[in-house]
Amino acid sequence: MEKNEIDNESLKPNNSCVIGPTNAEERRREAYHVREEAAHVQKKLLLPEQPCNHDEHLFFNKIANYSKGLPHNSLGEVDLKAYKSFVYALRTGKPKDFEKIPLGGVIKLSNPQAAYTFDLAGPDSHHLGVMAPPSFSSAWEASEIAEVYWQALTRDVPFEDYHTNPMTTLAALDLSKFSDFRGPKVNGLVSTQTLFRGNTQGDLIGPYISQFLWKDIPYGATTIPQLYRTAVAGDDHMTSYGEWLNIQNGLLPTTKNQFDPKPLYIRNSRDLASFVHKDFNYQSILSACLILSSLGDAALDPANPYLKSGTQVGFITFGTPHILDWVAKAARTALEAGWFQKFLVHRRLRPEEFGGRVHNQLTGASSYPINPELLNSEVVSQVHSKFGTYLLPQAYPEGCPTHPSFPAGHACMVGAGVTMLKAFFNESFVIPNPVVASSDGLSLLPFTGPSLMIGGELNKLASNIALGRDAAGVHWRSDGIEGLKLGEAVAIGIIQDYRKTYNEYFNGFTLTKFDGTTIKIG
C-alpha cells in the first residue's frame, strides 16, 4: 500500500474518534484476558509452608509472644484471658471480635485487620512465606538481643569512629563470642568494619550509610538536602522498670525526645533511629528514586526499550511516573504481606519485651529459660552499669509500635522498593561524587574509597532502614532480614503480573536479589 493510500485509510470517517489496532470490544476482551492470566499465574503458584517457632504453645504464660497494649501483671506477663481474646479475634477475623479485646491502657493495636486484606496486583499476602524466627531460648535469639543491646549502648558513636571507639571495639569482641550470631563476619569474627551491617552485597563496601540517605534529593523545582532532626546524645528511654511496665500496658510515656537544635546529616545510630521514627512509609525509596532519576540515561537499566529509540522517550511506561508508581504500590502490598505474618503466623515479642524478661531473670524476680550465652555476656553488665536495670534502652519514649515484631514493616517496604529500583536502574552504574558525613553531622565530605555502585548502595539502603529500627530498640536482626526478602518477593510478584501490559518490545526486567542471585522477569 502506498503512503497516500495509508493516509487515506487512516482518515476514513467512522462513528468513533478512537483509532488504534483494536476496537472497543476487542480492547475489553484483551483487558480481561490480561487480568485473568495474571490471576491464573498467582493461583498456580505453589503455596509455601508457614513455619513458626512454636513458642506460643511451649510457654503457657506467653512470655515469648507479643502482647504490648494488653493488660499485664507486675512481671510484665500478659493477662491470659486478654491474650486469648486477642488470638480468638485473629482466628475468626470478625470485626466485632476485635472490639472485644481488653486493652491495658489507652494505646490501641495497630491495624491487625490489615492481615486479611486482598490486593489486585501481585501475590496475595497469604501466599508468601518466611522462615520461622529464632525461638525464645535459643543461642540465636540470645545473639540477636545482645546485638540490639550493643546498638543501644553505641547510639552516639559516629560511624566514622567505629574503628577507634572502645565501645564499638568491645561490641565486636562480645558478639564474636556468641555461637549463633548471624551478622556479617570476617574470618569468623565480628569486626568494627562489619558491626551492625547487613548481609547483602555492597553492605561492607564504603561508609556505613548508603549514598541515598546522604546525597541531595532533586524534588521538582527545588532540592532537598538530607539534613534531619535528631535526638540529642544520651536521649534513652524506658530504662526504669515502672516506666517499662506502664508502656507494656499501653499507657502513654511520661518522657519526650529531646532534639538537637540543628538539623544534621545522619552520622550515628541515634540519627538513623530518628530518621526511621518519623519517616513516612516509603520515604527512603522515594528519595532514592528521585536521586537515581537525576543521573541520566546511563543510570537506567540497559534493557529499557527507550534507550534505543530514535523518536521516543519513556514517561508513563519505563519513565519516572512508572517507577514512582511501582515503588508506592509495592510498599503497601509488602506491608500487607508483613501484617499477615506478624499477626496470623508468628506474634513474636519485641526486643523491649524480651528486655523485661532479662531484667526479671537477673534480678531474681522470676525465672525464664533465657540462653546463658546472653546472661553471661559482657553486654548485660554494661547495660546494668550504665542504667541500673537490665532493660533494653529505647530511642523512642513510646518504645515499639503496637504490632508484633516479625517481620519488620520497614524492612518489608524498603525490600520491595529497592527491588523495584533494581529492576529499572543499572545496578553496575558507579554513583558519581560519593560523600560521607562528618563525625559532627554538620557537613558532607568527599568519599575517596572504593567505587560505590547503584546495586550495592540500594542493598545498603535496605539494610540501613531495617537495622536502623534495631538501633532504636524496636526490632531484631532476623525481623529485618526476613522482611527484606518478603518485600522482594512482593515486588517480583507485582512485576510478573504487569509483564503482559506493555505495547513496547521489551525483553524483561533483570535484577539481583538480596541473596546474590540474578533473575529475569519477562
Per-residue pLDDT of the chain (522 residues; tens, 9 = 90+): 454 555 555 555 556 799 999 999 999 999 999 999 999 988 888 899 999 999 999 999 999 999 999 999 999 999 999 999 999 999 999 999 999 999 999 999 999 999 999 999 999 999 999 999 999 999 999 999 999 999 999 999 999 999 999 999 999 999 999 999 999 999 999 999 999 999 999 999 999 999 999 999 999 999 999 999 999 999 999 999 999 999 999 999 999 999 999 999 999 999 999 999 999 989 999 999 999 999 999 999 999 999 999 999 999 999 999 999 999 999 999 999 999 999 999 999 999 999 999 999 999 999 999 999 999 999 999 999 999 999 999 999 999 999 999 999 999 999 999 999 999 999 999 999 999 999 999 999 999 999 999 999 999 999 999 999 999 999 999 999 999 999 999 999 999 999 899 999 999 999 999 999 999 998
pLDDT on residue 16 = 74
- The range of the structural domain enclosing residue 272 comes to 45-521
Are the beta carbons of 486 and 226 closer than 8 angstroms?
no
Are the beta carbons of 483 and 274 closer than 8 angstroms?
no
Q: Is the dihedral angle over the CA atoms 265, 266, 270, 275 positive or is it negative?
A: positive
Instruction: Classify each residue of 311-331 as buried b or exposed e, where b means 16 or more C-beta atoms within 10 Å of its C-beta.
Output: eeebeebbbbebbbebbbbbb
Establish if 353 belongs to a structural domain. yes
Phi (first) and psi of residue 122, to 5 degrees: 85, 180
Q: How many residues does the chain have?
A: 522
Establish if 134 belongs to a structural domain. yes
Establish if 25 belongs to a structural domain. no
Burial of 41 (0-12, 13-18, 19+ CB in 10 A): middle
Cell of 95: 470485626
Phi (first) and psi of residue 3, to 5 degrees: -60, -45
The maximal CA–CA distance of the chain, rounded, in angstroms, is 94
Torsional class of 287: left (φ above 0), alpha (ψ -120 to 50), beta (otherwise): alpha
Residues 6 or more apart whose CB falls under 8 angstroms from that of 180 comprise: 138, 139, 140, 142, 143
Establish if 31 belongs to a structural domain. no
pTM across the whole model = 0.96
**H or E segment and range at residue 270:** helix 269-278
Please report, for residues 185, 305, 509, the alpha-carbon distance to residue 302 in angstroms, rounded to integers and kept in the order given: 34, 8, 10
The domain total for the chain is 1
Phi (first) and psi of residue 65, to 5 degrees: -120, 155
Establish if 15 belongs to a structural domain. no
Establish if 321 belongs to a structural domain. yes
Establish if 322 belongs to a structural domain. yes
pLDDT on residue 1 = 47
Neighbours of 73 (CB within 10 A): 12
Cis peptide bond N-terminal to 71, omega within 30: no
Look up the CATH number of the domain holding residue 449.
Answer: 1.10.606.10
Establish if 36 belongs to a structural domain. no
pLDDT on residue 293 = 97
**First-residue to last-residue Cα distance in the chain:** 35
